[in-house]
Amino acid sequence: MIVLGIESSCDETAASIVKDGTKILSSIIATQIDVHHKYGGVVPELASRMHIEAITPVVDEAIKKADISLEDIDAVAATRGPGLIGALLVGFTFAKSLAWARHLPFAGVNHLEAHIYSLFLSNSKPEFPFIALVVSGGHTNIYHVTSYTNFELMGQTRDDAAGEAFDKVAKMMGLGYPGGPIIERLAKTKNPASIKFPRTLLEKGSFDFSFSGLKSSVARYIHDNKIATPDEKAQIAASFQEAVIDVLSQKLITAALHKNCRNIGVSGGVSANQTFVNKLTQKANFQKINIFAPPVELCGDNAAMIAARGYIMIQQGQLCRLSHDVFSRTKID
Ligand code: KG4
Ligand code: ZN
């Protein structure tokens, strides 16, 4: 079965053709980073407009790159939520119209479940059951995943998402958007132990996260020490990143031990951070736990993961009707 996947929940317009749920024939991502960069974050109204401009050429290119024609597509899947409503509406309505016009089955995909599915698009996939982290600009969620359709939410952030903290810390230091890759690059040049920022672990036994204290602590440090030079900024980047990595790693490994899982899969934009994946792997290996991450190009928002999730929904008859709408926030399931 050939599925066209479409993603437009935030600042990436993406389309992908995936065969039988796992074979990526094409994956096109048009990013709006250049537009949002100067505002230090995503401007929702601009995002919607850019999606409208990009959606047709991006879908055309995905079909062309896959070396198929529109007639070869058997089903359509698009992100239904969570995300920015105006942005979601562009991809979802486009996909729904295409499916309706061509009498194709149509699945409305949960973006967070799709991030977990990016792990199944890798050559090396985690076996069930496993602990999954979805860590992005909007979410820091830990799940216990026992099958392709069973995701138990164990914990989530109570304030900022980890990616959001990266973005805000980068913005404080005037480094631009998105902050994650910039901070990771700068951090490589410095000792991560030189500034001791807080590690907030919350109550014992909780798998929730809180990154706002860390963010405030970095803001105070920048203000009190009048941080200005590239060297000082790199020092903060390294120490801040280490604090985030410590908290994510500790919660994930504790969750795996709690559920007696030997496998952890990380997904979402922040899982593109190689320092994070490497340090987590080292720590987890001590406990004989294996770490899985998608290929870097599938860590951030993409449509291959939407097509992969949509494929299973279509197989199981979980289809969207014409009356179905997008949603901005919801629990996974
Ligand atoms: O999954 P994603 O592309 O979009 C959302 O669904 O939010 O994640 C974007 C987030 C941004 O906050 C960005 O700063 C972060 O992922 N990110 C990173 C890295 N690359 C992207 N964070 C840390 N290190 C990176 N290398
Ligand atoms: Zn995402």
Q: Tens digits of per-residue pLDDT, 93-115?
A: 999 999 999 999 999 999 999 99
CA-CA distance, 215 to 197, in Å (whole number)? Answer: 9
Query: ω before 198 within 30° of 0 (cis)?
Result: no
| Cα dihedral 122, 291, 203, 159 in deg (nearest 10) | -30
Going from the Cα of 135 to the center of ligand 1, the distance in angstroms, rounded, reads 8
Q: What values do phi and psi take at 16, rounded to 5?
A: -150, 150
Q: Quick one: which ligand is closest to 272's CA? A: 1
Query: Would you write out the chain's pLDDT as a tens digit for each of its 333 residues?
Result: 999 999 999 989 999 999 999 999 999 999 888 877 778 778 888 889 999 999 999 999 999 999 999 999 999 999 999 999 999 999 999 999 999 999 999 999 999 999 999 999 999 999 999 999 999 999 999 999 999 999 999 999 999 999 999 999 999 999 988 999 999 999 999 999 999 999 999 999 999 999 999 999 999 999 999 999 999 999 999 999 999 999 999 999 999 999 999 999 999 999 999 999 999 999 999 999 999 999 999 999 999 999 999 999 999 999 999 899 999 987 544
For residue 42, count other CB atoms closer than 10 A to its CB: 20
- The closest-lying atom of ligand 1 relative to the alpha carbon of residue 11 is 4
Query: What are the pLDDT digits (tens) for 203-260?
Result: 999 999 999 999 999 999 999 999 999 999 999 999 999 999 999 999 999 999 999 9
Question: For residues 115 and 136, is the Cβ–Cβ distance under 8 A?
Answer: yes
Burial 264-279 (b: 16+ CB within 10 A, else e): bbbbbbbbbbebbbeb
Ligand 1 atom at shortest distance from the alpha carbon of 301? 3
pTM: 0.95
Tokens 């001791």 belong to residue:
196
**Phi-psi category of 265—alpha, beta or left, where left has phi over 0 and alpha has psi -120 to 50?**
beta
317 Cα to the center of ligand 2, angstroms: 25
Ligand 1 site-directed mutation target among 112, 166, 266, most atoms within 8 Å of CB: 166
Paired sense of beta strands 263-267 and 75-81, if any: unpaired
300 lines ligand 1 (CB under 6 A): yes
How many percent of the chain have pLDDT more than 70? 99
Our answer on whether the CB atom of 133 is closer than 6 Å to any ligand 1 atom is no
Q: Is the CB of 160 under 6 A from ligand 1?
A: no
What integer best gives the mean pLDDT of the chain? 95
Give the three-state DSSP class for 191. Answer: coil
